[in-house]
Amino acid sequence: MKSVHATEEQIQAYVDGIIGEDFALLSEHIENCEQCRETMHQYRALFGELADDTGFELPAGFARTVAAQVEVGKDGAVAPERWSPAVLFAILGPALMAAITFYILGYESLLSGLGDFGQTMLGNIDAMFTGCATYLQRLGLRPDLFLFTMLVLLVISGLDRLLRTLRHGKAMLLA
């Protein structure tokens, strides 16, 4: 047994202090064999150096900076994503548009529109087009039109931001 040198793997395990079944034999050989002892010392020195914790320095105040960043995120992009302005516009915008349309067209046309619901699809689409035409006619150049255009723009930008937020969120999940 003494003539067979320990393998590199055995010597590494020995220095690591991982004790296997053959530990007694291994230990006896390493302590008595100059060549294996030399390898053992080389590994011991290497492992000692590998435990040197330099070269990983983060800037001073790193933790504080990160914690502050998260704090900022709280009012912006992190948890309240669901209720960001983008989402509010995306939900409230169409609702407001519907309300204004409803107001301009009046209750009667809406109710008659509901009555038409039983008719064929074509009939409904036709009614929709007629409704839109009437609607546009009635709007003319009134301030409502301005408000309406503003709302459309807001809804578009809201949806755009919503999509971006969602895409960003997905990217973060994948990260």
Of 1, 50, 60, 141, the residue at the interface with other proteins (CB under 8 A) is 50
Residues 26-45 that bind other proteins (CB under 8 A): 42-43
- 47-55, 120-128, 131-139, 159-167 -> range binding other proteins (CB under 8 A): 47-55
- Quickly list DSSP for 40-84: HHHHHHHHHHHT---S-PPPTTHHHHHHHHHHHHHHTTSGGGGGS
| Residues ≥6 apart with Cβ < 8 Å to 84 | 76, 77, 161, 165
To other proteins, the closest distance from the beta carbon of 161 in angstroms equals 19
Of 11, 15, 26, 36, the residue at the interface with Zn ion (CB under 5 A) is 36
141-167 exposure pattern, b = at least 16 Cβ within 10 A, e = fewer: eeeeeeebeebeebbeebbebbeebee
**Chosen from other proteins, Zn ion, none, partner binding at 50 (C-beta under 5 to 8 Å by type):** other proteins
Of 21, 53, 75, 108, the residue at the interface with other proteins (CB under 8 A) is 53
**Does residue number 78 form part of the binding site for other proteins (CB under 8 A)?**
yes
